[in-house]
Amino acid sequence: MSFIDYYEILGIGFNADASEIKAGYRKLVKKFHPDLHPNNPEATAKMQLINEAYLILSDTEARKLYNREWTRFYSYEKSENKTNETSDSINRNSNADEFQFEDEKLRSWMDSAKRQARDITRQAVKDAGGILKDAGYAAAMSIPRLIIYIVITNILFLLFKCSN
């Protein structure tokens, strides 16, 4: 499992409190929610990462374990960058791929969070499709009602006009 910086994903700092985590999550949900981007696999993948990050960082114990690995990763990255005397993003990505989480419990939680995030995102995509379908059906059903209303109103108007 390669390293994923959940703080970076949510756009928050390492020392963010619970309200900042929630605010960062909500901001990104508003931006990448499947309702806003139907049939967009990139937005769906981004939303899955956002959910995964929130699931880990919003759980106190999981965050504590993650913070330990986060610190270890950035210490590892610094030592690798000193050795290679480069700090470009290519090196950072290769470091992330090489990094191994030591904490089995955290790895298990992250796998679980990944599955939950995938399920949450799939459900959101499914719900978005259903909402769009329902909205289309409602619009299709309201047009005949509108036409009937107009016809009846015109008939009543003509009857009222003829009687006077």
CATH of domain 6-163: 1.10.287.110
pLDDT for 86: 45
List the domain boundaries for the chain: 6-163
Q: Cα–Cα distance between 86 and 71 in angstroms, integer?
A: 20
- Segment 61-86 mean pLDDT: 78
Percentage of residues in the chain with pLDDT exceeding 70?
73
- Segment 9-33 mean pLDDT: 94
| Residue 5 clears pLDDT 80, i.e. is over it | yes
Per mean pLDDT, which range of 66-70, 114-118, 150-154 is the poorest?
A: 150-154
